[in-house]
Amino acid sequence: MLYNFLLPDEYVNTVFEITPEKLSKLGIRGIITDLDNTLIEWDRPHATEEIAAWMEMLREAGIRVIIASNNNEERVRRFAEPLGIPFIYRARKPLGNAYYAALKEIRLKTNEVAMVGDQLLTDIMGANRLSLYTFLVRPVAESDGFVTLFNRFVERRVFNILKRKGIKTWEEQK
């Protein structure tokens, strides 16, 4: 099907639904995660206490985490360094180079890694091309940066087509 690269393996409302127990059942030992509107709002500079605690829970469970963001180095570094998380900036998702670099950094194979992101056209499509397990997270903010606005427009169209074809999206996951 034409839309296979856009379909996540799983829809979640927040990253907090992604637990070490869930990951273990899936055989997942590492996460590549997007930053903006996946972990925190696109205009919030630092992690919330809840996100920091979630990251620490994953680390304590032995889950390796790396951030792959299309944003600039300063933005991603400001978030990641205080948490001690490796990161890739200007990732150019959905292109594959950042995913390969992330896999190399966390030293895991594609079948051991999940991608967590809020956008079909960047996070999910790029990860699906490498056969990573994909979690599509509901965006944490109602607003988006300029470039993401276009992606959201296209996503809405894709979701409408999927619904017409009887393919479940977030609304049917509740």
Structural domains in the chain, sorted by start: 4-173 (3.40.50.1000)
Using H for helix, E for strand and C for coil, what is the string for the chain? CCCHHHCCCEEECCHHHCCHHHHHHHCCCEEEECCECCCECCCCCCCCHHHHHHHHHHHHCCCEEEEECCCCHHHHHHHHHHHCCCEECCCCCCCCHHHHHHHHHHCCCHHHEEEEECCHHHHHHHHHHCCCEEEEECCCCCCCCHHHHHHHHHHHHHHHHHHHCCCCCHHHHC
Q: What is the pLDDT along the chain (174 residues), one digit of tens a residue?
A: 556 777 899 999 999 999 999 999 999 999 999 999 999 987 788 999 999 999 999 999 999 999 999 999 999 999 999 999 999 999 999 888 999 999 999 999 999 999 999 988 889 999 999 999 999 998 887 655 555 666 666 777 776 767 777 767 665 554
Record the pTM: 0.85
